[in-house]
A and B are shown apart, each in its own frame.
Chain A
């Protein structure tokens, strides 16, 4: 004969109820964690897309900012010297560190303080082809396990 507590449920029924409740709570928490992590990752990837767009536009505009450009391209740096009406401007980009603690810094003409352009840089390399006045930049960003390759070529019309 079943033992009936005061509320009318048997002990077995009570234990099954508690176990079911715990499982439901566990599934609910797992769902919340999964959703939060998934959403967080998506937001970070969208940020990376926006950052890549801004970085490319920034580099494009700066490299094209003058005429008679003299370019020095290296494995992790790019320096562009352009002629202006009243003299010469020197811009430079420099990648420091390695992902996930890497930075792409921009140093404006005559400025001693650098500006952070991107902190998701995975790969960065540049080349200069003076015969064709062509600068090629291989920029790669990374967020988590996802990478974004942005090959940039700029023809400098002098």
Chain B
């Protein structure tokens, strides 16, 4: 009887440990994919000509400190949308919410020209607000 109880405890503990380890690996897997997605968005934000005619209207007014929310509609193509989650990407069979924000950064505290554009990309890799991966970047004007 004692051996059966000990084995049952071992079996339950082993299954719980493996289950926990498995779920943590799954979370890390989704987190890696979310990081790759967010990094890709940041690269595309850098590759976008924000001061070109096609994208000028996506930028907030100079020194307004307004944050514009954009949605990626294709490679280096961004559409202005209302605030909140701007789209979903599917990684590992999981639908991950993405939010992309563009804002003005007055780097020198001076003139009204754009000093640079700041961007924040958030990708959720697990349910819950705290399980979001957030990347920030700055893009200077092209010369």
Q: CB-nearest residue of chain B relative to A44?
A: B25
B67 near A: Cβ within 8 Å?
A: no
A134 touches B7 (CB 8 A): no
What distance in Å separates the Cβ of A86 from its nearest Cβ neighbour in chain B? Answer: 28
Do the beta carbons of A49 and B7 come within 8 Å of each other?
A: no
Residue of B nearest to A150 (CB): B36
Contact B32 A148 (CB under 8 A): yes
The contact string, 1 if C-beta is below 8 Å from chain A, for chain B 57-96, is 0000000000000000001100000000000011111000
Within 8 Å CB of B29, what residues of A?
A: 45, 48-49, 146, 148
A128 to chain B, nearest CB (A): 10
Do A152 and B18 touch across chains, with their CB atoms under 8 A apart?
no
Contact of A31 with B14 in the complex, beta carbons under 8 Å: yes
Q: Tally of A-B residue pairs with Cβ under 8 A?
A: 93
Interface of B is mostly: helix
Beyond contacts A45-B29, A153-B75: 18 other A-B pairs, Cβ-Cβ < 8 A, are A27-B4, A34-B18, A42-B21, A46-B25, A127-B75, A132-B47, A134-B47, A134-B75, A146-B92, A150-B33, A151-B36, A151-B40, A151-B89, A153-B40, A153-B41, A153-B44, A153-B47, A155-B47
Task: Please name the 7 residue pairs, one residue from A and one from B, whose CB atoms are nearest each other, closest first.
Answer: A153-B40, A155-B47, A38-B18, A153-B43, A149-B91, A132-B47, A132-B76
Using CB atoms and an 8 Å cutoff, list the residues of chain B in contact with chain A.
Answer: 3-4, 7, 10-11, 14-15, 18, 21-22, 25-26, 28-29, 32-33, 36-37, 39-41, 43-44, 46-49, 75-76, 89-93
Residues of A within 8 A of B (CB): 20, 24, 27-28, 31, 34-35, 38-39, 41-42, 45-46, 48-49, 52-53, 56, 127, 129, 131-134, 136, 146-155
Complex A-B: 25 CB contacts under 8 Å: A31-B7, A31-B11, A34-B14, A34-B15, A35-B14, A39-B18, A42-B25, A45-B25, A49-B32, A52-B32, A56-B36, A129-B47, A131-B76, A132-B44, A132-B49, A147-B92, A148-B29, A148-B32, A148-B33, A149-B92, A150-B32, A151-B89, A153-B40, A153-B43, A153-B44
